[in-house]
């Protein structure tokens, strides 16, 4: 999976927040991409390091972090 794939998934399954950025909960993103994005967690971590996405967790895990918002910064 590529970072582009994860950012497209955030756009496709998320909503625009008050700051004008696309945002989706990790649980929804996980459920909607389970069959297409096998390495979602690793890809999101790489995208976070590149400042393409933001989320308030070091490592996203299901079901613990299902309500954490993943925000697309671009």
What confidence category does residue 34 fall into, taking pLDDT thresholds of 50, 70 and 90?
confident
Calculate mean pLDDT across residues 33-50: 86
pTM for this structure? 0.89
Domains of the chain by residue range: 3-72
Q: 6 pLDDT exceeds 90?
A: no
> Exposure string (b/e) for 16-53, b if CB count within 10 Å is 16 or more?
eeeeebbbbbbebbbeebeeebeebbebbbbbbeeebb
Contact partners, residue 1, CB within 8 Å, separation at least 6: 36, 37, 38, 39, 40, 43
CATH of domain 3-72: 1.10.10.1540
């Amino acid at each position: 999976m590529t970072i582009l794939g994860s950012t497209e998934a955030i756009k496709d399954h998320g909503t625009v927040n008050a700051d004008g950025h696309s945002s989706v909960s990790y649980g929804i993103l996980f459920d909607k991409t389970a069959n297409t994005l096998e390495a979602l967690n690793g890809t999101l971590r790489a995208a976070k390091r590149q400042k393409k996405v933001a989320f308030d967790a070091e490592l996203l895990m299901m079901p613990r972090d299902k309500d954490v918002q993943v925000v697309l910064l671009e």
